[in-house]
Amino acid sequence: MTNLNHRTVDALRINHGELLRNWAADMEANTSQAALKAGELQQQMTEFLRLFVRGVEAGSPGSLATGEWSEMRHFLEKLSYNWAVMGVDSQETAAFIFSLKRPVMVLLQREFGDEALFFVEQLWVVSEFIDVLAMHTISTFQKSREAVIKRQQEELLELSTPVVKLWDGILALPMIGTLDSQRTQVVMESLLQRIVDTGSQIAIIDIIGVPTVDTLVAQHLLKTVTAIRLMGADCIISGVRPQIAQTIVHLGLDLQGIVTKANLADALALALARTGLSVGRAS
Amino acid sequence: MERIPILRMGEFLLVTIQVDMHDQLALTLQDDLADRISATSARGVLIDISALDMVDSFIGRMISTISGVARIMDAETVVVGMQPAVAITLVELGLTLPGVSTALDVERGMNLLRTRMGRA
Amino acid sequence: MNSVRSGSHPVRLEQDVVLARQAVRKLAQECGLRLVDQTKLVTAVSELARNTVVYGGGGEMDWEVLEDGPRKGIRLVFRDEGPGIADLKLALTDGWTSGGGLGLGLTGARRLVDEFDIASTPGVGTRVTIVRWN
């Protein structure tokens, strides 16, 4: 990438107030920017232009890794992260930077319009610079969005299946909805962790709310029961629907040594009995 | 030579594994425990592995062997404090330690041993 | 898929197995692997590094931190110049062992990682490659 001619750099620096006004006017006319407050946007634009002028004075942005451009890179990364979190879409984010092209072109045309060759050449270089900045912004924007989605998925997973304490030393995991392998895994891990945290002797996994299971999920369930035993606690599975019982038998999975109960109440009664407690009617 | 200490508590032996064990250390522990069971006529062995962040097939085999040897010498073995991540990994590895008793912590392991003694 | 960083550890003595585990634990933490996934990877390392020492007569563990979009991962290569494995299919059968082990080393390690590859030539050596993503 070539550097800008010093005359162009001077023009950008001297006229940067005008550039900012034109850019702001364009932005207002062309994009909704619904998620952004006007004042905030203005602030971002001012900062962007300041860093842009400072950058072009030093030379071409290259990969944005070096010297004068690194501050611009940090600025863009912070901006795209914030916008991604705020829910600004990728088009608006890209438009923010690309919309600088027109005011820059107008400015260069006025300054160097009568030197056609020079004008075109400089316009191309500036355009390349802006493209680099836009590309970097979009790629970090994308990464930020992916990170946000990943975090939300994890939060959702944890929310969807809470481990509850039924009694001192007795935990229950009521599972609801279709189980996929990943969800089962995360849920089971949090159950195991809760067993350690609470020192619970018995864990009940209730699957009455689960319509079907596939091989992987059934295997996962069995592995969890084994893992719980290795940790020194016991596990009861309750609410096995007829279809699921059939699946398990069809799959040839070995349920030996696994205690199952028809419903959560029976499982709790067994758990209480095992911990040496009994429930009776107060006379 | 590096050794894992074995504590005697009444008729039980307590081993707390707190180091990242290399294989020779595990084998030494296996031998030491057999000797101590014999020397002290211990009725129970507690192996606390709550500080272990990993149990591979070698350590798993050591645990099974200790448990088997102890049983022949009339002592019960209880493994206590296995971390959830370790338990999940062991199951995935294909090691389920059949015949090895487990408990959540040392106290419960001790109770388990006492109950078994009482029954015997 | 980019390789971000890489390096190598000697796997010659029994103690090196412990060091390899610790090194990989650190890498796994840096890559943001969940605790369970860290444990699985470290356990696989223990099995494979032991094989390298015991059956391969010592060798190297090459490590590499990978980046594939938002995902991060670790690739490990265990290589030795030992006698090699004549029958790979047999060696990858659960319960089969040439030594005194449980025969879970190779097969177990394979179940603990996302990608597993083994190449071996009798008389030349063995090379096991594993990858675990976050």
The ipTM (two decimal places) reads 0.93
Average pLDDT on A227-244 reads 93
Residue A160: the pLDDT is 66
Nearest Cβ partner for B91 among A189, A230, A232: A230
Pick C30 or C86 by higher pLDDT.
Answer: C30
| pLDDT surpasses 70 at A32 | no
Q: Which residue segments constitute the domains of chain C, with CATH numbers given? A: 2-133 (3.30.565.10)
Q: Is residue A279 in some structural domain?
A: no
Average pLDDT on B62-74 reads 95
- At A159, the pLDDT band (50, 70, 90 cuts) reads low
Q: How far apart are CA A188 and CA B77, in angstroms?
A: 27
A182-193 per-position pLDDT tens digit: 778 888 888 999
B7 has a chain C CB within 8 A of its CB: no
Give the least confident one: A55-69, C80-94, C120-134: A55-69
Q: Is residue B1 in some structural domain?
A: no
- At A31, the pLDDT band (50, 70, 90 cuts) reads low
Inter-chain touch A143–C70, beta carbons under 8 Å:
yes
What Å distances lie between residue A135 and A61, A71, A140, A147, C69, CA to CA? 12, 16, 9, 18, 15
Mean of all residue pLDDT scores within chain C: 90
Average pLDDT on B6-23 reads 93
Name the token pair of A88.
Answer: 């600004």
Do residues A212 and A228 share a domain?
Answer: yes
**Count: domains in chain A:** 2
**Count: domains in chain B:** 1
pTM of the model: 0.74
Do residues A223 and A268 share a domain?
Answer: yes
**Residue recorded with tokens 């060798």:** C59
A205-220 per-position pLDDT tens digit: 999 988 888 888 888 8
A157, A186, A201 — which closes off a domain? A157
Do residues A151 and A261 share a domain?
Answer: no
Q: How many degrees, rounded to 5, is the angle at CA A161 between CA A205 and CA C25?
A: 90
- At A64, the pLDDT band (50, 70, 90 cuts) reads confident
- At B75, the pLDDT band (50, 70, 90 cuts) reads very high
Do residues A47 and A169 share a domain?
Answer: no
CATH of residue B19: 3.30.750.24
Domain extent at residue A239? 164-274
Mean of all residue pLDDT scores within chain B: 93
Do residues A153 and A24 share a domain?
Answer: yes
Do residues A10 and A134 share a domain?
Answer: yes
- At C2, the pLDDT band (50, 70, 90 cuts) reads confident
Do residues A126 and A24 share a domain?
Answer: yes
Contacts of A232 in chain B (CB under 8 A): 78-82, 102-105, 108-109
- Percentage above 90 pLDDT, chain C: 70
CATH of residue A248: 3.30.750.24
Q: Is residue B70 in some structural domain?
A: yes
* Nearest chain C alpha carbon to A141: C70
Do residues A22 and A151 share a domain?
Answer: yes
Do residues A139 and A183 share a domain?
Answer: no
Cα distance from C54 to chain B (closest Cα, Å)?
Answer: 11
Q: Please report the DSSP string for A129-167 in residue order.
A: HHHHHHHHHHHHHHHHHHHHHHHHHHHHHHHHS--EEEE
Q: Is residue B81 in some structural domain?
A: yes
B8 has a chain C CB within 8 A of its CB: no
Domain extent at residue B105? 6-119
Average pLDDT on C70-98 reads 84
Name the token pair of C55.
Answer: 């059956």
